[in-house]
Structures are given as structure tokens and as C-alpha cells.
Structure 1
């Protein structure tokens, strides 16, 4: 295990397959290596407004009055001829209350990685005011909007990963090299993707209750290989564990990079320490960077002269054993 430098306050924080069945993973071309560039190298083709799934929006939680809405993402595609590319899925923050895939921090990070060889997807998901469909078990456990909003957001980001698998050949993506990451709420969602079981945030609702599930490539995997967590935590997982009585953290979880401001007054620094302790217990690789003196949304932070994107680049390429030129 490598360690560099050294919550349930759930409602407040967020106003901030067994473990992925790989039996149907699309075949990949193993005759070529996945290669990325250490410096910005490629021009980028930006394709906007791609619909990755549909979802229900309710007038009130689980009300009978619904609207079907498209879920969108933008693709940042490096202009190269490589047949095997890694993928990076970016998830914006905003406490599940606001925000979008065009957040300037997401755009900057997307351009950083796409220019070095990743196919990057920045996505939208349902927010609290959309009042997406929630399972009966959630509705019975709470009437708090700031808890209920967690389910549809997680359902949507899982749909985005399944969409990526279903369309990987269109983008020359090797699905053995998928990273998810984001800041704040986007980090909570990323942690959930890398730690929750494949059925979580999907199978609790039937297609009868939510017909839009049929648009979410439901038979595809949701496995990711690395997580980038900027000032997030594991509150989504904690809630799943409370509902099910089953622990989710185990040795099959995706390795994680954690960066968190020590003076964060939105998502307390202790959330990062809790996450670190759970990774220590499972033995899964992680790196932890306390951002000394920084608060929430510390996008401008550096560690030993390296930006957060630089740290993420080094972590991903090392963990996934990607060739760097």
C-alpha cells in the first residue's frame, strides 16, 4: 500500500453484481498497449449533448405525475488513431442540488486528460428538484429530500458507466482502464461507483415502477478501475449499509486517490480520514493527500508543485500500469 503525505453527517455533507459482474465485458484488443502522453499532445474533438439514458422526473417523490427526461453527457475525444484508449468519467459537484457537466473545473480537467490520450466524459445526473424515483425502502426510511436525492443521482451515474461499456468500441476504449472522479458531490458519487455492488442503486426498482430503466443498458457491467476523490466521502455507501445491513467495503473495491482540505467547512476533513481507514482495513491501494490549510473546492491546491490533475495522472497511470510517453 502506498500512502503519500499524510459521517454520517449525511444530510449536511451531501447538501455538499456482486462487485461488478465482468462476464459480459466487451472483448478488447490485447495486442496493443494503452498509451498516454505525459504532456498535452492531442487536439480534442468535443461532442456535446449525447444522451446516455432516460430518467423519470416526478412532481413529488414517487408521485404518479412524471416526465421522462434525457440524461446528457459531453465527450472529449483525443484526435489520435490509437485502437486502445483509457476512459475518464467526470462527475460535477453541487451537493446534488445544482451544477452541470459544463462546470469550469470539469471542463479544465476533461481537457487536461483528453489532450494526453484519455477519452473523457463529463455527465449530468438528476438533482434534488427532479425528485427522481426512489425505492420503497428509502421512502419508508426517511422523508428528507437531502437523503432521497441520493438514490436517483447514483442510479444515473451507474447508467452512464453502463453506457460507456455499451459504446466502448465506438471510441476505441479499453474497458479495463476506466477511471471515475469528481469534487464534493461528484466525489461521493465516484466513491459509490467504485465501492458499491453492481446491483446497488439499480435493482431496488423494477422496470414497471420506472420504465426508463430499459434505456440504461441494464445488462452491461459497472466496474471501474480507479477513483479520484476530491473532498468527498463515503456517505452514500454508509446509507446503503444502513438500509441493507451488509458492508460494502471489501478487497474488490477500486483503488482511490483522496485529496481533501484540512479546513473544509462543508465536507469535514474527517470524512477523508474515515475513507482512508476503510481502505486500510480492506488492503486496497490508495493515496491520501491532506491539503493543508485549504477549505472546500480546493481546485487550485498543489502538492509539491503538482496540480490535482497531475496527482491524478500519476495515480491512474501507476495503478492501471498505463504506458506513459
Structure 2
């Protein structure tokens, strides 16, 4: 285990794209944070000429609903296939959009990754575990289009922030579990990932501290309750099942945790690290002191976040600098 603290396509198919709830955006979050952190700036979401962006690629369809992704890659054709990374946005499982991760995707592409910022079904569109199915479908899409976009299908990671971090972790630790990947039986393309990055996302919904925030009776329903379709008392097994901590085993991929100074958003992380360490699985924790939740949407915090991601993936994927 390493531990560090740093300051810090296929053409779009016909159909109806999922419309994101844009309550949670970089701009709205900036307004909430700028008084406390007057030095922050919204990270640039405009790609330079060195980065190629292909937007609005439909990666899976459900009836007349299309789920789409935006793909970010170096503009120059690489000499060899590059590792891929699926990015899952946050927003309490019921809001947010893939545009929130455009700045991160651009910087990862600049470091030699093929990054896919994806949309997925939010809780108002489909309850848990629909979002898990969607992210696994996006991973399969990347593998099935690997040659087209110069993706190394043997090196694909999944990462996300906040609710997206929890989703990414659950996706990564449940490879081969039918409930979480019902389409797998109809596909020869694997949804397994070789690394996971959880940025300020829960690892355990069931802990007393997590339930204090996520199962607050004053919220009718809470964000988690809306996703699960019930409170902890009503849907206890789902709250446990959706906790990445519950699925750690000998085949769990390496995981990097990147955390803010707000501990409530990463509850269960230490327990998960302990379980993985006991199994001899590589894991790491990078903490950014004096940071708010959603730090990855802003400079100066995005750069150390992306650098930590690239350092971790470079080591786990045995990539040359």
C-alpha cells in the first residue's frame, strides 16, 4: 500500500438522450464555495488543439432512451494503444452531468489516456442498481471499440467523484456478479476493470456515521433513500449491497482513494483499505488538506488530483513515463 498527503465510436444512434439534472454544476458549486475559498477557479472545460473530443456518442440504449458519453484523446494518433478510463460524475445519485468531468478528462487525455465522461441513469430515471449496469455497459463499449479509438483493452480503469466515486468503486469490485451486470451473459466483452479511483465517495452506506447523513429522516427522501427506494430500515440489504466495502475479495482490482477534508463523504475508506491490505491488494490514499467536497471541479485542486490518478495508474499499469 502507498499513502500520500499532498496540498493541494460508433456514430450516435437514433434515440432520446438522457437529460441530466443540472442542479449540480461547477458554476453552481463555485457560488457556494467562493466566499470560503476566494482563490478558486472553475477548471477549464475547453480542450486545446492537442486534444481531440468526440461528443454525444451513444454507448447503450434502453428502448427510446440513449445513454451517451464524450470521448477525450490525444489529437495525434498514438504509436501504441493507450489505457482507457471511464469517468462517472457525482450529484447525489440524482443530479449532475458528464460535463462536470470534462476538465478532468481533458487533462487525462493530455497525459496519454483515452477518457470517457459518461451519462448514466439518475435515481429519478431508474433506481439502483441501474447506474451500475450503465457504467459496466460503458466499459464494454470501450473494449468493443478499442481498435477504433486506439484503446488498450487490457488496461481500463473506472473513476468517479462523490456519488460517482461510490458507483465507480462498486462497478469495479463486482465483476462477474450477475445482478450488477445482467448484460454480461449476452456479451463476450468483459466489463472488468484493472484499476479503480474513488474520489470522495462512500465505501460503506451502513456505518452509523454514514447513516447519520444519508438516512436523515428530515430528508424525505434523502439522496441515498431516493436511489434505493427506501430508508435503511426499509431497504437494509440494498444499503449493504451497494457498499463497495461489502464486496472486497481476492479479485478486487487496485484502488486509489482521493479525499477532501470533509470526512463524511469517504466513510468506510479506512476499513476498505484494511481489508485490501490484508489480501495483498495494492491501494493508496491521497488526501488534499483544507479542501471542500467537489474539489476536483476547480483549480488549483484539479491538477494534483489528475497527477495522483496518473501516478497510480502508471504504476499499476506499468506504463512508461
TM-score in same-fold range (> 0.5): yes
Deviation at 1:239, TM superposition (A): 5.4
1:77 matched to which residue of 2?
Answer: 73
- 8 Å Cα contact 2:88-2:164 kept in structure 1: yes
Is 1:310 the counterpart of 2:317? The answer is no
Assess, with a 3 A threshold, how the Cα gap between structure 1 residues 43 and 201 changes in structure 2: closer, same or farther.
Answer: farther
Provide the rounded CA distance (Å) in 2 between the counterparts of 1:247 and 1:94. 23
Deviation at 1:257, TM superposition (A): 1.1
Provide the rounded CA distance (Å) in 2 between the counterparts of 1:194 and 1:112. 23
Provide the rounded CA distance (Å) in 1 between the counterparts of 2:261 and 2:271. 13
1:260-319 Cα distance to aligned partner (Å, 9 max, x none): 223345x2x43322322222232210111233333322225879x961111111111011
Provide the rounded CA distance (Å) in 1 between the counterparts of 2:304 and 2:163. 20
Assess, with a 3 A threshold, how the Cα gap between structure 1 residues 217 and 43 changes in structure 2: closer, same or farther.
Answer: farther
**Root-mean-square deviation over aligned CA pairs:** 3.2
Which ranges in structure 1 are unaligned for 5 or more consecutive residues? Answer: 7-15, 17-39, 56-66, 132-148, 205-212
Deviation at 1:190, TM superposition (A): 1.1
Which ranges in structure 2 are unaligned for 5 or more consecutive residues? Answer: 7-23, 25-46, 207-235
SS at structure 2 position matched to 1:72: strand
1:136-186 Cα distance to aligned partner (Å, 9 max, x none): xxxxxxxxxxxxx22000011011111111111111111121111110111
Provide the rounded CA distance (Å) in 2 between the counterparts of 1:99 and 1:175. 28
Provide the rounded CA distance (Å) in 1 between the counterparts of 2:160 and 2:240. 25
- 8 Å Cα contact 1:264-1:295 kept in structure 2: no
Deviation at 1:203, TM superposition (A): 5.3
Provide the rounded CA distance (Å) in 2 between the counterparts of 1:261 and 1:232. 10
Provide the rounded CA distance (Å) in 2 between the counterparts of 1:161 and 1:71. 13
- 8 Å Cα contact 2:202-2:267 kept in structure 1: no
Assess, with a 3 A threshold, how the Cα gap between structure 1 residues 201 and 45 changes in structure 2: closer, same or farther.
Answer: farther
Deviation at 1:240, TM superposition (A): 6.4
1:127 matched to which residue of 2?
Answer: 122
1:107-163 Cα distance to aligned partner (Å, 9 max, x none): 1111101122211111000001113xxxxxxxxxxxxxxxxx220000110111111
Deviation at 1:41, TM superposition (A): 9.8
- 8 Å Cα contact 2:204-2:267 kept in structure 1: no
SS at structure 2 position matched to 1:177: strand
SS at structure 1 position matched to 2:268: helix
Provide the TM-score with structure 1 as the length reference.
Answer: 0.68
